[in-house]
C-alpha cells in the first residue's frame, strides 16, 4: 500500500444480484500488476455507494487488509512506518525495538504472511 501517497484512490461497485455488491478499491501496483482490495456488501445501490466511500477512506488510512507477500517482520516495519506520524519519537523508538529484539531473530520473523488486518477484514456491519 505504499504507492498511495499523493494518489487519488479509485474504487468501483460490481452489482452481484439479489441486493449484493462487490466493492473494489485500487491500492497500487506491485510487480507491474494492479492490486485491489475487495469486500462483499449486501444492501441497496445507494448504501453500497456510501459503503464504498467509507471503504476508500479506510484504505487511505491503511485500515484495510492488503495481501502481503513479505515476512512478518517486513509487515511490522511497514505498519510502524504507517503510524509514525501519530506517535511520539520516544514511543516509536520503543515500538521499533520490539520486533527487532523479539521477532526478527526468531523463526516467526521470517515467516511469510498473506493477509493480516488490524480490524479483521471488511468494514462495518453489512460487509461479509
Is the per-residue pLDDT at 128 higher than 60? no
Contacts of 126 (CB under 8 A, 6+ apart): 41, 42, 43, 47, 51
Question: Average pLDDT in the 29-40 region?
Answer: 83
Q: CB neighbours of 38 closer than 8 A, spacing ≥ 6?
A: 22, 23, 24, 25
What is the reported pTM? 0.49
Mean of per-residue pLDDT scores for the chain: 74
pLDDT at residue 84 is higher than 50: yes
Confidence of residue 117 (pLDDT cuts 50, 70, 90): very low
Q: What is the mean pLDDT of residues 108-115?
A: 54
Amino acid at each position: 500500500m505504499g504507492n498511495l501517497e499523493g494518489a487519488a484512490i479509485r474504487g468501483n461497485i460490481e452489482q452481484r444480484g439479489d441486493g449484493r455488491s462487490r466493492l473494489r478499491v485500487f491500492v497500487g501496483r506491485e510487480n507491474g500488476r494492479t492490486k485491489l482490495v475487495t469486500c462483499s456488501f449486501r444492501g441497496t445501490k445507494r448504501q453500497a455507494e456510501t459503503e464504498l466511500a467509507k471503504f476508500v477512506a479506510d484504505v487511505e488510512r491503511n485500515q484495510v487488509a492488503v495481501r502481503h507477500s513479505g515476512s512478518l517482520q517486513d509487515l511490522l516495519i511497514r505498519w510502524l512506518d504507517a503510524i509514525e506520524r501519530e506517535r511520539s519519537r520516544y514511543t516509536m523508538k520503543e515500538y521499533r525495538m520490539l520486533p527487532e529484539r523479539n521477532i526478527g531473530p526468531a523463526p516467526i520473523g521470517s515467516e511469510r504472511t498473506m493477509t493480516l488486518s488490524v480490524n479483521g477484514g471488511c468494514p462495518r456491519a453489512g460487509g461479509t
